[in-house]
Amino acid sequence: MNHLAQSNLRLFIATFIFALSGCGLVSDVKDLDDVNLSPDLAFPIVNTNVSAADIITKFDADGTNTNVNGNGLISLVYSGQVASQSASDLIELPSFPIPLIDTLQTAPYALSNGGSLNTVIFKEGVLAYEISADLPEDIEVMIRIPNASIGGDMFEERIDLYYQSGGFVSGSGSIDVSGYTLDLTDNELTLSYSAIRKNTGETISLRPDSYVVLQDAEFSYIEGFLGEYQLDSGEDRIGVDIFKTITFASVYFDNPRIDVTVRNSFGIPARTRFETLDAISEDGSITPIQSPLSSFVSLNYPELDEVGMAAETMIAANNGNSNINEVINAAPHEILYQLVTDLNPDGVAASNFATDNSVFEVDIDVELPLYGRVLDVAVIDTFPVDFREFNTVEDVEFLVHSENGLPIELGLQVYFVENGQVVDSLLLEEQSLMVAAETDASGWAVTPSEQDLIVTFDATRFGQIKGVSEIYLKTRFSTSNQGLESVRLRDTDAFDVRVGMKGKFDISVTDLIGG
C-alpha cells in the first residue's frame, strides 16, 4: 500500500476514532501497553540428507583423495610422487676441446660414466672453434665431421678468417649443430679440416693451438650403452590426513594397500626398491612397512622399437604380501619413504636409448578402501550458535527423526558452552542418534534403519542455555554390530536427519510487528 493510501487510511481511522472517543473505547486502547500471545507452535528446524560422499568431502574437499570404484565403494587415496627424473637432467653429453693437429683425426666421444654412444641426435649445441695460422693474410678453413650429417648431408662448414694484425690470422666462433645426427663407431668422432690462403688457394696448416669443441650440446635422441646410474628420491613423506582429523578408539581397514606405479620411458633396464618405507604414528613411533619393494624389483622399460613410449610397472603392497594391514590400522599420520632405482643394474653393455622427453617417475598411492570396521570413532567440532532469537520460548520438545542407510551407527552428544564452560547437554548421556543400516554378508548396507529421539527442554532448562554462544558437538560412530563386522561404504549410502520443534512461545506483538 503506498504512502498516500496509508495517509488516507490514517485519516479515515482518525475520523472515527474522534467520533468514538465518547464511548471510552479509545481510552482502553490508550491504556494498552502491548499484546502478549502464548501460542503453542510447531515447526521444522533441520532437514538434512547426507551421503557417504558428502561426509568424505568434509575430509577431502577437492576430491583429490577420494576414489569411487564401479561398485560405489569409496576409497581414500593419499598420493605422492616419489621420484621424477628426466633424461636430459640425468645424461650429459661430453664436452671437451679437440685440437686440430691433423687434417684428419679422430677423438673419443663417450659418456663420463663409461657409457658408450652409438648415435646422438643433437637438439641443441654448437661446435665452437678457436683457429689461427701463422700468416698475415686472409685464410679459408673447412671443417668436416664425416660421421655427422643432417638430411643426408655431411657436416661441412667453411670459416673465413681475416687478417687483422700481429703477423698471424686468427678467429673464433661457433657453428650450430642442432639437428645433426652423430653416428659414432667405437666411441670416436672423426674430424677433418682443410685450410687455404684466400689470395692464392695454397693449402696451409693451422697453428697447433687451434681447436674445436662441442658445447652446450643437448640431445633429442641418444642411443648406445648409456652406463649405470642410481636414482635416489631422498627422504620424503606422504600425509595420511584421515588419521589427523579423527580421534578414535579403534578403526580397522580390511583391505588397505600401497600401490607403487613406475613409468619408465628410458630405454634402459632398471630395478627399484624402497630404501626406507615407514609408517609414522601421531606419537612419532615408526613401523617399517614390509612389502615386495623391500628388495629390488625389476622394472619394465621400452624397447628400441618403442621409442617415445613409457612402460609402466605397478607393484602393490597389500594384505597378501606385506604388513600393510597392521601398519595402516595403527593409524599412521605419515608414510616416510626413500626410493632407490638402479639403471643398467647389471652393468652389461646393451642397447639403451633415451629421448629428451624420457622420464622416470614413481608414484605412491596409499589407498584405504572404506571397507572395514570402526568402533567409537569420534568427530568433535565446535561451532557458534545464537539462541537469542528463541528468547520467547518457554517449553520446547525436539523430535529427532533419522533414517540411516549407512552401515554406521551414530552416537551424539551436544554440549552447550558459555564462556568456555559447559552449561548443559542436549542428552543426559551420549545416545545413539542413528542405528546402523542392516548389511548383507559382504558388508553392503541393504536396509535403512529408522529411529526417533525426543528431547524436552522445560522453561527453566531452556532459560539456562539461551545465553550460550557455542555448541560442542561430539559424534561417535561405529560400524554394524558394535564394530565387530566389517562393512563397505558406498558413495550413495546416505542418512536423513530431521529435527522438528514444538514449544510454547511468549510473544510480544509489538516485537513481532516491529513497532
Quick check: 245 binds other proteins (CB under 8 A)? no
Mask 418-457, x = binds other proteins (CB under 8 A)? Answer: ----------------------------------x-----
Nearer Cβ to other proteins, position 42 or 101?
A: 42
Question: Residue 202: what residue type?
Answer: E
Distance in angstroms (rounded) separating the CA atoms of residues 509 and 35: 5
* By the rule CB under 8 A, 25 interacts with other proteins: yes
Minimum separation from the CB atom of position 380 to other proteins (A): 11
Contact 503, 45 (CB under 8 A): no
Out of 263, 473, 474, 481, point to the residue binding other proteins (CB under 8 A).
Answer: 473
384 lies in the site for other proteins, by CB under 8 A: yes
Sign of CA dihedral 388, 391, 393, 396: positive
Q: Mention every residue, 6+ apart, whose C-beta is less than 8 A from residue 304.
A: 223, 267, 351, 353
Count of alpha carbons within 13 angstroms of residue 414, beta-carbon side:
12
Give the number of C-alpha atoms closer than 13 A to the C-alpha of residue 223, restricted to the C-beta side.
15
For residue 465, the tally of other CB atoms under 10 A from its CB is: 19
- Which amino acid, one-letter code, is at 133? A
Asked if 58 touches other proteins (CB under 8 A), the answer is yes
Confirm if 69 and 370 have CB atoms less than 8 A apart: no
Q: Does 304 bind other proteins (CB under 8 A)?
A: no
Q: Does 4 bind other proteins (CB under 8 A)?
A: yes
Q: Would you say 167 or 384 has its CB closer to other proteins?
A: 384
Binding of residue 29 to other proteins (CB under 8 A): yes
CB of 35 to other proteins, least distance (A): 5
User: Is 31 a binder of other proteins (CB under 8 A)?
Assistant: yes
How far apart (Å, rounded) are the C-alpha atoms in residues 236 and 248?
Answer: 27
| DSSP sequence for 452-469 | EEEEEE-HHHHHHHTT--
Is there binding between residue 249 and other proteins (CB under 8 A)? no
Radius of gyration of the chain (CA): 41
Distance in Å, CB of 321 to other proteins, minimum: 39
Task: Work out how close the CB of 54 gets to other proteins at its nearest, in angstroms, rounded to a whole number.
Answer: 6
Q: At 120, which amino acid appears? A: V
- Asked if 8 touches other proteins (CB under 8 A), the answer is yes
Q: Is 380 in the site for other proteins (CB under 8 A)?
A: no
Q: Which of 68, 90, 330, 499 binds other proteins (CB under 8 A)?
A: 499
Q: How many residues bind other proteins (CB under 8 A)?
A: 67
Query: What sign for the dihedral angle of Cα 314, 319, 320, 324?
Result: positive
Instruction: Indicate the residue type of 151.
Output: G
Among 204, 280, 375, 399, binds other proteins (CB under 8 A): 399
Name beta bridge partners: 261: 314, 363
Q: Which residues between 149 and 208 bind other proteins (CB under 8 A)?
A: none
Q: Which three cell numbers stand for residue 490?
A: 558406498
Stretch that binds other proteins, among 15-23, 248-256, 295-303, 458-466 (CB under 8 A): 15-23
Tell which one of 62, 283, 389, 429 touches other proteins (CB under 8 A).
389
Contact 321, 259 (CB under 8 A): no
Q: Contact 301/270 with Cβ under 8 angstroms?
A: yes
Q: Does 246 bind other proteins (CB under 8 A)?
A: no
Q: In this chain, which stretch among 27-35, 62-70, 191-199, 258-266 interacts with other proteins, using CB under 8 A?
A: 27-35
Other Cβ atoms within 10 Å of 283 Cβ, number? 6
Report the interface residues with other proteins, using CB under 8 A: 1-2, 4-6, 8-9, 11-13, 15-17, 19-20, 23-26, 28-50, 54, 58, 381, 383-386, 389-390, 399, 401, 452, 473, 498-502, 504-505, 509-510, 513-515
